Structure 1
């Protein structure tokens, strides 16, 4: 077992979620070997053709990786319940859009916007609503994104096609799930 490969416990946890061969295209190569190859590539960001031979033919690993984002029917798009963002998104058009869609938000007011509103006096309007507790939870999302970016292939986005990159981000999320 190489550095970064799945442990036996992680493999047992993950095995039931993986696709099985449809037997029309012949037998599949060892699932664990190919999965370790995918995770090695996600962790190191190596080009597919430079994947070490211990993971099998690079083309086999790449083709199996391409299937990952297409595992299920997906979820229908739904309107988010709430949004938390930093001061960069605290402007009129963004707030208006969220209000129109009925999305609650936690956007802190910019200092210059607050000063301009106060300078106008009663014509400046009331201060926008701000839920400090919800804003503090934004940190959890940012930490998760930073953990995803610890995978070199996610941070640098070497993949040309969106669905391949989605598979790369999915693989990185699976590693986080398995190791927490």
Structure 2
């Protein structure tokens, strides 16, 4: 029987081939049981010691999660899942980018070990997730920063993080056919970056930019092209954030370390590809 917050049969069939294999040492505890315990912990937003006993000892779950977080196991699993989807033609060439703020719990507000550390904004201590997703609303790349970080400052980092391996011949796919974003990414630097790479984009101008161009008259230049209907398709990234924040451990940040925070979001993103 599959309990609430556990991996479904289809999710486990998707994840099982991506798990690392060991050829030496003692056999590790059942991967499905341990992974179910890890998923339960972050979906419920509970402490490790509160994970039900049916998933094994909390120390086993904690050790396995942090080992896979530090050695990049979750990141490699996500890349392999994306490469598999790319080979099957399941990644659309329309990319949307946005950011979302998450509150930081007091348990994560102690001494910081590594980046990203929580930032202080109008909402208190927060972190911010900058993410790009495909046309069907599955995460392609993300960067985690403090909540007081500007969206424009992380645009290049998110776009460069989209570079991933391919299962077949050819170079990794990085350049989308079209990119949509909100007013927070409306800057001359970003538009010039996209034009140099031949990436068409739909980004609405901010009100102050429209006023400044009107004030300059003919010397203000022409307004950038804008497709209102195509811009409406940007809601896929908002729906993606909505799905990820169903995990209570993502909607509120409880992790102090950068590795744990990154691995939690990576694991949730991996399961969206299932």
TM exceeds 0.5? Answer: yes
2:266 equivalent to 1:170: yes
Q: Which secondary structure state, in structure 2, belongs to the residue aligned with residue 16 of structure 1?
A: helix
Separation in 1, partners of 2:28, 2:261: 23
2:245 equivalent to 1:149: yes
2:200 equivalent to 1:104: yes
- Stretches of structure 1 lacking an aligned partner (at least 5 in a row): none
Are the aligned partners of 1:19 and 1:71 in contact in 2 as well (CA < 8 Å)?
A: no
Separation in 2, partners of 1:92, 1:111: 15
1:1-53 CA distances to partner (integer Å, 9 max, x unpaired)?
Answer: 432222334433432222233332x1111112101101101201212233222
Separation in 1, partners of 2:45, 2:54: 17
Larger radius of gyration: 1
Q: Given the superposition, is the C-alpha separation of residues 43 and 141 from structure 1 closer, same or farther in structure 2, using an over 3 Å criterion?
A: same
- Stretches of structure 2 lacking an aligned partner (at least 5 in a row): 80-163, 166-171
Are the aligned partners of 2:78 and 2:270 in contact in 1 as well (CA < 8 Å)?
A: no
More helix by share: 1
User: How far does residue 108 in structure 1 lie from its aligned partner after superposition?
Assistant: 0.6
Are the aligned partners of 1:107 and 1:130 in contact in 2 as well (CA < 8 Å)?
A: yes
Q: Given the superposition, is the C-alpha separation of residues 94 and 16 from structure 1 closer, same or farther in structure 2, using an over 3 Å criterion?
A: closer
Q: Which residue of 1 aligns with 2:8?
A: 7
Separation in 2, partners of 1:7, 1:108: 40
More strand by share: 2
Q: Given the superposition, is the C-alpha separation of residues 80 and 145 from structure 1 closer, same or farther in structure 2, using an over 3 Å criterion?
A: farther
66, 71, 76: which one pairs with 2:76? 71
2:215 equivalent to 1:119: yes
| Higher relative contact order, structure no. (Cα contacts within 8 Å, ≥ 6 residues apart) | 1
Separation in 1, partners of 2:78, 2:190: 31
Q: Given the superposition, is the C-alpha separation of residues 111 and 73 from structure 1 closer, same or farther in structure 2, using an over 3 Å criterion?
A: closer
Q: Given the superposition, is the C-alpha separation of residues 150 and 102 from structure 1 closer, same or farther in structure 2, using an over 3 Å criterion?
A: same
Are the aligned partners of 2:212 and 2:220 in contact in 1 as well (CA < 8 Å)?
A: yes
1:109-150 CA distances to partner (integer Å, 9 max, x unpaired)?
Answer: 223322332233212211112233442221112211221111
Q: Which residue of 2 aligns with 1:38?
A: 38
CA root-mean-square deviation: 2.7
Moved more, 7-16 or 113-122: 7-16
Moved more, 55-64 or 2-11: 2-11
Q: Given the superposition, is the C-alpha separation of residues 111 and 70 from structure 1 closer, same or farther in structure 2, using an over 3 Å criterion?
A: closer
